[in-house]
Amino acid sequence: MAILGVGHDVCDVARFAASLERTPELRARLFRPGEATRPVESLAARFAAKEALAKALGAPPGLSWLDAEVVTEPSGRPRLELRGTVRAAADALGVVSAHVSLSHDAGIASAVVVLEG
């Protein structure tokens, strides 16, 4: 397999929390139900993952935030689930596998996405 795309993003947790407080409907626009109830640090990391995924895909127009979900495997490992507009963009690039790494510390959340095909 070859690497088709790499994306990285960071998110200031306090600023993200303030955005969620200021605009409560933002949570439902950005996160699927399985993600939306997580703590704000985890949400910030998941938002960074969605941004990193968009960058790895080449930032095509028309992607829906809800078409990418970060799920947690029983082992604790994060995994991306792609559907709809995001799945279509990944398929157009020939993506077979998407890898994600999340982190948050000292008020900053970050994510890296690697796409393989």
Q: What is the pLDDT along the chain (117 residues), one digit of tens a residue?
A: 899 999 999 999 999 999 999 999 999 999 999 999 999 999 999 999 999 999 999 999 999 999 999 999 999 999 999 999 999 999 999 999 999 999 999 999 999 999 999
CATH, range 3-116: 3.90.470.20
pTM of the model: 0.95
Give just the sign of the alpha carbon dihedral 100, 42, 23, 34: positive
- The two most distant CA atoms of the chain are separated, in Å, by 43
Domain ranges of the chain: 3-116
Residue 107 and residue 116: Cα distance in Å, rounded?
30
Query: What pLDDT does 73 receive?
Result: 95
Query: What pLDDT does 1 receive?
Result: 86
99: left (phi over 0), alpha (psi -120 to 50) or beta: beta
Contacts of 37 (CB under 8 A, 6+ apart): none
